[in-house]
Every structure is written in structure tokens, then in C-alpha cells.
């Protein structure tokens, strides 16, 4: 895809297993040509697409924007020459624009939101500031929990993860300002929204959902930990995400995620 006066935009990243139909293709304006490319980190077999929540985040953004792009896998064990020529010394995910390499995930997201903007492309920024930070401590708590080798610390670390998930559950359960009817005398007690900021995906969901899914899969596999069933809002959030191609078709197979963590998840010492 060409943007900003025909300058080429290339985006390469380490994405997860791609399945099903391709993303919807947004028509490009007259006089431009499609030149958006995504390079994906190969999975364990060297061909399927590997696990990376940061690249899935970017892939979800591109899918939701509806842009045209090509998908290829890149086995970093055997880096192709064109990858080296495009961005020497750089590892996915990264993006190049007009010869400039962008490697900071947040800056790439900001660039895509500013460049792929209305009226041609939808705006994905959350309307409510709190949605951008909801659940932002979950992955850190999960990482500490899954890497721990000391049995005496396990309970406290598990409690910390559960507490972080509960904060997310509370946020998803609390009505947003635009869910509250100002003319109603009845208090809105529970939110029924699908996602963090409403009933549509936003950048906040693109950031959180890939990590939350990893937490669910890996914690179950290596610690037999389940997200508590009474966290109904978290489960509603996940189930709504699983019903959308934008998430499921950019999400790694569970086996790829488990394999990615086999050397990270530490066994508790006896």
C-alpha cells in the first residue's frame, strides 16, 4: 500500500499462526499501488507463523484498518538476505517507511494511527483514557509467576496474578460513561460491553488481548492455573474476542504458544 505521496510502507513482524480468510482489503486510491508487506517470524517448524504478542498487536491494527498487505514467514534461524538488506541488525517486529526503520512498538502503533486515518481508514484510539491502562500489569505478574522456581513464593505470585486479573474484571464490569443513561433514574450496575472501550476493538484491545490469551494458555499448561470462573467479565471479553477473525486469525495455535514458553516456564523446585 502506498501512503503519503507514494512512499512505500513495509511492516515486518513476528506474528502468530494465521488461519482462515485473508483480512478485508481496502481499495487504494487512484494513482497509488499496494506495497505494504508483513514479514512473520516462522514457528517451530520453520514454516508456520510463530508466537509474538507485539507483532500480533500490529497485525490486528492493520487488519482492523482494512489495509492491503502481503504475509510471508521469516525463519530467524536462517535470515533471508532481503531481511538483512531491508533492516540490518533489526529483529521483528519493525516497520520501514521511506527508508526509515521504526522499531519501537508504541511509535509504530502511533505512526499507523496517524498515517492510516479517516476518512479512508477507521480511527482505533480508545475514547476513554482508562481503557488504555486496563490490565497493564497482568503480563508482568504472569511473567514473575511463570518464571518462579521457589515453591514458597508460588502462592504469593499466583495471588498477585489473580489480583491483577480481578482489576481487569472490575473495569470490564463497570459501565463506561457513555453506557450510563443520564435520563434514567435507575443506576447502571454492570457493563455488557464486548471490549475494553465499548463494542468495537480499539488499540487498547490490540495491546492487551494477545497477552491475555498467552496468560490463559501458558498458565494452564505449566501451572495448571485457570482464570477464575467468577471473573465473568474477563471471560466475556475473551469469548467476544475469540468470535472475531481479527483476533483469532492472528493468534498462534496453543501448541506454538506453549512451545515458545517451554524454556521460560520454570519448574518449581521440590
Q: Which domains does the chain have, with CATH numbers?
A: 2-115 (3.40.30.10), 129-260 (1.20.1050.10)
Q: 238 falls in which pLDDT band (50, 70, 90)?
A: very high
Lowest mean pLDDT among 94-103, 152-161, 162-171: 94-103
CB-CB contact of 124 with 206 (8 Å): yes
Q: What is the pLDDT of residues 257-270, one digit of tens each?
A: 999 999 888 788 76
User: Who has greater pLDDT, 58 or 227?
Assistant: 227
Query: Which pLDDT score, from 0 to 100, does residue 32 have?
Result: 29
* Mean pLDDT along residues 201-210: 99
Query: Which pLDDT score, from 0 to 100, does residue 104 have?
Result: 87
User: 40 pairs with which residues across the strands?
Assistant: 73
- What CA–CA distance (Å, rounded) separates 248 from 242? 6
Lowest mean pLDDT among 25-34, 140-149, 254-263: 25-34
- What CA–CA distance (Å, rounded) separates 210 from 250? 9
* Mean pLDDT along residues 178-195: 78
CB-CB contact of 22 with 110 (8 Å): no
Mean pLDDT of the chain: 80
Query: Which pLDDT score, from 0 to 100, does residue 77 have?
Result: 63
User: 94 pairs with which residues across the strands?
Assistant: 12
Percent of the chain surpassing pLDDT 90: 53
Phi/psi of residue 87, each to 5°?
Answer: -150, 75
Amino acid at each position: 500500500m502506498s501512503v503519503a505521496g507514494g512512499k512505500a510502507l513495509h511492516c515486518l513482524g513476528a506474528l502468530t499462526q494465521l488461519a482462515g480468510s485473508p483480512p478485508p482489503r481496502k481499495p487504494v486510491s487512484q494513482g497509488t499501488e499496494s506495497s505494504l508487506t508483513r514479514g512473520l517470524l516462522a514457528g517451530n517448524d520453520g514454516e508456520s507463523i510463530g508466537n509474538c504478542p507485539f507483532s500480533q498487536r500490529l497485525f490486528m491494527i492493520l487488519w482492523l484498518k482494512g489495509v492491503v498487505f502481503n504475509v510471508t514467514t521469516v525463519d530467524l534461524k536462517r535470515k533471508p538476505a532481503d531481511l538483512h538488506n531491508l533492516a540490518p541488525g533489526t529483529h521483528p517486529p519493525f516497520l520501514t517507511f521511506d527508508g526509515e526503520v521504526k522499531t519501537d512498538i508504541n511509535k509504530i502503533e502511533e505512526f499507523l494511527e496517524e498515517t492510516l486515518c479517516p476518512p479512508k481508514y477507521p480511527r482505533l484510539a480508545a475514547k476513554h483514557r482508562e481503557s488504555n491502562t486496563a490490565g497493564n500489569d497482568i503480563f508482568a505478574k504472569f511473567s514473575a509467576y511463570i518464571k518462579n522456581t521457589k515453591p514458597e513464593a508460588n502462592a504469593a505470585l499466583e495471588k498477585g496474578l489473580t489480583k491483577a486479573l480481578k482489576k481487569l474484571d472490575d473495569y470490564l464490569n463497570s459501565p463506561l460513561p457513555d453506557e450510563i443513561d443520564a435520563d434514567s433514574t435507575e443506576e447502571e450496575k454492570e457493563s455488557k460491553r464486548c471490549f475494553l472501550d465499548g463494542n468495537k476493538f480499539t488499540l487498547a484491545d490490540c495491546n492487551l488481548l494477545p497477552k491475555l490469551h498467552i496468560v490463559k494458555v501458558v498458565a494452564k499448561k505449566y501451572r495448571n492455573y485457570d482464570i477464575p470462573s467468577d471473573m465473568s467479565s474477563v471471560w466475556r471479553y475473551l469469548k467476544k474476542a475469540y468470535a472475531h477473525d481479527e483476533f483469532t486469525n492472528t493468534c498462534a495455535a496453543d501448541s506454538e504458544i506453549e512451545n515458545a514458553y517451554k524454556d521460560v516456564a520454570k519448574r518449581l523446585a521440590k
